[in-house]
Amino acid sequence: MINKSPLYLLLAMAVALSSLFPLVSCNHKDKDEDVYTYSTSTQTTLVKSFALQADADVLASLDSVHFTIDYDNGLIYNADSLPVGTDITGLKVSVIFMNTVSSAIFSITGATEQADTTIEYTSSMTRELDFTGKTVLTVTSADQSQVKDYEVKVLVHKFNPDSLVWNESWRRDLPGDLSNATGFKAVQQGDTFRAMMHNGTECQLLTATSLSQGSWAKQTLALPFVPQVNSLTATDDDLYILADDGTLYSSTDGVAWASCGVKWYSVLGSYDGRVLGVIKGGDDLYYHDEYPHVEGFESSLVEDGFPVSNASGMIETDNQWTVSQQAMIVGGKDSNGKVLCDVWGYDGERWGKINNIHSSVLPALTDATLFSYYTYKSLPGVRRYARQQTWYVMGGKFADGTLNDQIYLSTTQGITWSKGDGTMAQASYMPKFYGAQAFVGEETLTPAAGYYMPRRVQSMVTSWSCPFIYLFGGYNDQGRLLPNVWRGVYNRMTNYPVY
């Protein structure tokens, strides 16, 4: 049996719908289109969609570039600018109107290739338009009672968005007293950033809660030992450092230090609340160790070719192939003093070599800087891009003592690597270095004045989070401390986000 609604209910619904009809029709929204709330009169000159026609000689997927239609301000533009150098002097367009119009005329002035002219648009138009000057689309309603001008902008990036930018004006001095400083190491302890600076006789502890913090709190330390500053390591709760005799010390605040009762050859990094290191036994063999020991831990010989010293700093990251987090180190020296090009991973129980050495382009390096950041990949068939986690290797020292100034990238969690091209490079004005520390910090950005706000969503995005790289210190080829903090960013992330 079919249930039927009472007749009076159907009539009431019909009346309600008819009274809402103007609003419903005005707010009709196709997927990925703007939301319009204009009256019938304004709809008579409303541009429903604007697109460039396909032209592979200009740009692949040119016809998929999204254009925003801002009726209030009379603007049509692509919020996601076209790649640097795209030729926009001869483009064909497709325009769809909300209603039938009597005319749509493009007025072109000040273009580089096309003389000032007016061109009437029709659905069969094959004329090319030069968008390097000012282009205005004038739409006249079917009854000629309404006229609307739209300025049409085809925006092109002035700088390559898929590039790594190290703006020289962003460079800052290392925190602390740099006079006579010989050693510097920065670490992250939970939500706090700590740094230790040593000048040969005195140690300073520097503390900040933000990487962009201009002034770091400074304390002079009275340590009961001579620290190996470059061994400073942190878990979320504690700091660890080796004394000059190899004794491991720990501290919760960086001021009061206590011996852990063990002597290590080197510190590798931290993992899941404990610090990992290497012991050199009386038999001249090298063993894995950790502090504090987890239940059931047993020290074991390091693997053949394992870096017992001078590896990059260790980073922890999620791994799509393992349940637990994976820690990673790059390069270093093995027990025979050989400089390595390998990537080693740790899953909480065991170490293993994870990079494909037969196809790896990673050079053999000591004291390289390893960090996790991002690059972008283009999505097939459309001009859209997706962020992907990427592992970076910068700096480091070759076996002959010269320094590396290339950047190496892995989007496969350290298995395969590629050499960065000219867009993914260390800036020419940055000094070569080894032993620097890199951190990634989120900062809030807002559109520059006069920026065209995309109208794809009802709620405007007025700010967004952008991750920046902070590169602290390091040493030059003479072993001297480099006194700067460099700030870098993947350029695309500074652009207004397009949804």
Distance CA 45, CA 414 (A): 55
Are 84 and 159 contacting, i.e. CB atoms less than 8 angstroms apart? yes
Burial bucket for residue 448 (CB in 10 Å: 0-12, 13-18, 19+): exposed
Where are the chain's structural domains?
Answer: 33-153, 164-494
CB neighbour list of residue 159: distance below 8 Å, 6 or more residues apart: 84, 165, 491
What is the chain's mean pLDDT, rounded? 87
Distance CA 272, CA 119 (A): 67
Mean pLDDT throughout 442-447?
86
CB neighbour list of residue 143: distance below 8 Å, 6 or more residues apart: 44, 102
Mean pLDDT throughout 236-259?
97
pLDDT of residue 356: 77
SS3 assignment, position 130 = coil
- Indicate if the pLDDT at residue 214 is higher than 90: no
The single residue listed with the structure tokens 């020991």 is: 293
pLDDT of residue 379: 78
Residues 347-399 pLDDT 10s: 998 999 998 776 779 999 999 999 999 999 887 766 677 899 999 999 999 99
Percent of the chain clearing pLDDT 90 (strictly above): 68
- Indicate if the pLDDT at residue 485 is higher than 70: yes
Structure tokens at 67: 């254009």
CA distances from 363 to 294, 341, 472 (A): 35, 5, 22
Residues 391-444 pLDDT 10s: 999 999 999 999 999 999 999 989 999 999 989 999 999 999 999 999 999 999
Distance CA 250, CA 267 (A): 13
Mean pLDDT throughout 296-312?
95
β-pairing verdict for 247-251 and 351-353: unpaired
CA distances from 35 to 31, 50, 243, 350, 392 (A): 10, 15, 65, 55, 41
Model confidence at 498, in pLDDT bands (50, 70, 90)? low
pLDDT of residue 448: 65
Q: Is the four-CA dihedral 490, 495, 496, 499 of positive or negative sign?
A: negative
Half-sphere exposure (Cβ direction) of 243: Cα atoms closer than 13 Å: 16
pLDDT of residue 271: 95
Structure tokens at 253: 């605040």
CB neighbour list of residue 120: distance below 8 Å, 6 or more residues apart: 103, 104, 105, 106
Percent of the chain clearing pLDDT 70 (strictly above): 86
Whether cis (ω within 30° of 0) applies to the bond prior to 483 is: no
- Indicate if the pLDDT at residue 310 is higher than 50: yes
Distance CA 133, CA 90 (A): 12
pLDDT of residue 407: 98
CB neighbour list of residue 480: distance below 8 Å, 6 or more residues apart: none
Q: Of 376, 378, 371, which Cα lies nearest the Cα of 408?
A: 371
Cα angle 17-22-24, degrees, rounded to a multiple of 5: 65
Structure tokens at 76: 């049509």
- CATH architecture of the domain 33-153 equals Sandwich (2.60)
Mean pLDDT throughout 304-328?
84
**In angstroms, how far is CA 3 from the centroid of its own chain?**
57
**In angstroms, how far is CA 340 from the centroid of its own chain?**
28
Distance CA 124, CA 104 (A): 13
pLDDT of residue 41: 65
- Indicate if the pLDDT at residue 91 is higher than 90: yes
- Indicate if the pLDDT at residue 176 is higher than 50: yes
Beta strands of 174-226 (E only): which ranges? Answer: 183-189, 192-198, 203-208, 217-221
Residues 3-50 pLDDT 10s: 333 333 333 334 333 333 333 333 333 444 444 444 456 789 999 999
* Run of H or E residues at 359: none
Distance CA 213, CA 484 (A): 14
Q: Of 153, 157, 152, which Cα lies nearest the Cα of 494?
A: 157
CATH of domain 164-494: 2.120.10
415: left (phi over 0), alpha (psi -120 to 50) or beta: alpha
Structure tokens at 137: 């689309």
pLDDT of residue 38: 42
